[in-house]
Amino acid sequence: MPLNRRHLLGIEDLDPVEIELILKTGESFREISARPIKKVPALRGKTIINLFFEPSTRTRSSFEIAAKRLSADTVNFSHSSSSALKGETIIDTVKNLQSMAPDALVVRHPASGIPLVLSKHVKCCVINAGDGMHEHPTQALLDMMTIREHKQKLKGLKVAIIGDIRHSRVARSNIYGLTKMGAKVWLCGPPTLLPREFEQFDVRLTWDIREALEKADVAIMLRIQLERQGENFFPSVKEYFDRFGLDRDKLRLAKPDVLVMHPGPINRGVEISSEVADGEFSVILEQVANGIAVRMALLYLLLLPGASTQVVWD
Amino acid sequence: MSARQMELVLARIAAEIVEKHPDLDNLLLIGIRRRGIPLAGRLQKHIQGLTQKNIPLGILDITLYRDDLTTVAAQPVVESTRIDIPVEGRKVILVDDVLYTGRTVRAALDLLVDFGRPRQVELAVLIDRGHRELPIQADYIGQAIQTADEEVVEVQLLEVDKAERVLLTNRELVRKKRKISTK
């Protein structure tokens, strides 16, 4: 049962069977990180280039650790040290990188669609590590893996995604993934951050966090991008927290075994109170651990593709 | 080999293990996925029947340690490895159904040492069919049989295959059967 594709550009392209395979493989990989020697030889001799045009510590180090635990070699290119500053176009940059014979490019870029464009110019696998306001597929995969770990399923669960939906690639990837896997997705945020375009998805929209949290199985809180505050999407941080921030009182509306998730980095007291972020329902740090497992699974599945026949090997 | 013969053979291997390791406290049985897992479980039961002692069990999935991972036609599904107790200083007995080229055992040994340094590692197999490609041999053998390279030894266990027997067939037949079953 192989993953018959060269690139991972978004969850939108995946079908439920492929998502299931990635999640299941990720669950098997989780144990490797608990071993005394946290390394398996599967990707020995493979080279993976992390090409990050946007600041990231979590995703970049998670991809790097995932690659290293599979014995691949990794190289990091970041925006500040790359030739983009010297005027090179991104296409020229990746063509140069292609000449160094990598097996995969992990790309993060502030512009939506860059991974897709790059995938047409290189021979190696391209993995989208977040592009503009488009998708962040590995975040959605690790979120689904974390939910499954606790609920043993995705189908039928009420998942509320709350916060800055408009600018969030995490929200978009999760909407695709969760609805494909049969979850009931609710989106919630102030009208300025929850545009009507989202009605095209198979989701419910609400401006009332109480309605979103009512009997929810999972609450995914999104980061308020404080650097966008100058654009006046809401009157004040205080007012945002009062209406859309997750605190203990609002959380009582959800199911008693609700999971609180956040892709990080969190703004304490803006979208989530410290009490809830550190509380018993929070699985925020488990998400980070699962991120490594699911990225290992993805690298394994993309970099060691096989034909569709089963072999005898006893 | 019939189901009855299989149980007798496993009982004999269990007796050999007990004879060789009178002090069972330090033993750990590890089944190699997939059919090594139920076989290790049955050896554990036999040993318990003989000595009232419960030997701990572990599971190895060697997929990521295969030496043909980059060339193998089909991408194997990775399943989890489970060793809940430290292998450091233990006497480990690896259990598998068929010993053939020896490459699975090589992979299992590499995987095992990533969990620590066992004091000793032994190998128990239900069938040794020859044709080794690596210098590996078993310490406990259910039955050694002479085979031709194009033949296939198929071990079927209730837990995995819903049947209980060992068959000697050939690759052509197996291929035909697979085609039918995937239709």
The confidence score (pLDDT) of residue A108 equals: 96
Asked whether residue B175 is assigned to any structural domain, the reply reads: no
A28 vs B78: CB contact, 8 Å cut-off? yes
- A50 pairs with which residues across the strands? A76, A106
Asked whether residue B156 is assigned to any structural domain, the reply reads: no
Nearest CA in chain A to B130: A314
Calculate the CA dihedral of residues B149, B150, B156, B160 and round it to 10 degrees. Answer: 100
Within 10 A of A278 (CB to CB), how many other CB atoms are there?
12
The confidence score (pLDDT) of residue A306 equals: 54
Asked whether residue B97 is assigned to any structural domain, the reply reads: yes
Question: Which residues of chain B have a Cβ shorter than 8 Å from any chain A Cβ?
Answer: 61, 63-66, 68-70, 72-82, 97-98, 100, 104, 110-111, 113-116, 152-153, 171, 174, 178
Are B42 and B71 spatial neighbours (Cβ–Cβ below 8 Å)?
no
- DSSP-derived secondary structure for A271-298: TB-HHHHTSTTB-HHHHHHHHHHHHHHH
HSE-CB for A153 with a 13 A CA cutoff: 7
Query: Which of A25-29, A37-41, B172-176 comes out lowest in average pLDDT?
Result: B172-176
Nearest CA in chain B to A26: B78
| B140 Cα to chain A: minimum distance (Å) | 18
Distances (CA, A) of A99 to A102, A123, A124, B171: 8, 10, 11, 43
Query: Amino acid identity of A75?
Result: V
Residue B92 has pLDDT above 50, yes or no: yes
Per-residue pLDDT reduced to its tens digit, A164-177: 999 999 999 999 99
Within 10 A of A218 (CB to CB), how many other CB atoms are there?
26
Apex CA B115: angle with CA B24 and CA B112, to 5°?
75
- In this structure, what token pair is assigned to residue B2? 């019939």
- DSSP-derived secondary structure for B81-93: -B--S--TT-EEE
The confidence score (pLDDT) of residue A275 equals: 97
* Model confidence band, residue B176 (pLDDT cutoffs 50, 70, 90): confident
Size of interface A-B (CB pairs under 8 A): 77
| Residue A229 sits at the chain B interface (C-beta within 8 Å) | no
| Residue A152 sits at the chain B interface (C-beta within 8 Å) | no
Within 10 A of A165 (CB to CB), how many other CB atoms are there?
23
Asked whether residue B26 is assigned to any structural domain, the reply reads: yes
The confidence score (pLDDT) of residue B73 equals: 58
Within 10 A of A100 (CB to CB), how many other CB atoms are there?
10
Asked whether residue B93 is assigned to any structural domain, the reply reads: yes
Residue B105 has pLDDT above 90, yes or no: yes
Residues of A in contact with B80 (CB under 8 A): 27-28, 30-31
Are A6 and A125 spatial neighbours (Cβ–Cβ below 8 Å)?
yes
Per-residue pLDDT reduced to its tens digit, A207-229: 999 999 999 999 999 999 877 66
* Model confidence band, residue B80 (pLDDT cutoffs 50, 70, 90): confident
pTM of the model: 0.88
Chain A segment 269-308 residues within 8 A of B by beta carbon are: 297, 300-301, 304-308
Mean pLDDT over B15-36 rounds to 94
The confidence score (pLDDT) of residue A314 equals: 32
* Proportion of chain B above pLDDT 90, given as a percent: 72
| B52 Cα to chain A: minimum distance (Å) | 31
Total domains in chain B come to 1
The confidence score (pLDDT) of residue A231 equals: 75
The confidence score (pLDDT) of residue A307 equals: 31
Run of H or E including B148: none
The confidence score (pLDDT) of residue A4 equals: 83
User: Which range of residues forms the domain containing residue B133?
Assistant: 3-149
Are A311 and B74 spatial neighbours (Cβ–Cβ below 8 Å)?
yes
Residue B179 has pLDDT above 70, yes or no: no
Calculate the CA dihedral of residues A84, A88, A94, A100 and round it to 10 degrees. Answer: -100
| Residue A27 sits at the chain B interface (C-beta within 8 Å) | yes
| B145 Cα to chain A: minimum distance (Å) | 15
Indicate the average pLDDT of chain A: 92
Residue B104 has pLDDT above 70, yes or no: yes
Which CATH number fits the domain that encloses residue B93?
A: 3.40.50.2020
Asked whether residue B47 is assigned to any structural domain, the reply reads: yes
The confidence score (pLDDT) of residue A3 equals: 82
Asked whether residue B161 is assigned to any structural domain, the reply reads: no
B70 vs A304: CB contact, 8 Å cut-off? yes
* Model confidence band, residue A308 (pLDDT cutoffs 50, 70, 90): very low
Mean pLDDT over A8-36 rounds to 95
Q: Phi-psi category of A96—alpha, beta or left, where left has phi over 0 and alpha has psi -120 to 50?
A: alpha
Q: Buried b / exposed e across B2-28, counting CB within 10 Å, b at 16+?
A: eeeebeebbbebbeebbeebeebeebb
The confidence score (pLDDT) of residue A311 equals: 33
Asked whether residue B178 is assigned to any structural domain, the reply reads: no
Distances (CA, A) of A163 to A1, A131, A193: 37, 19, 7
- Note the ipTM here: 0.75
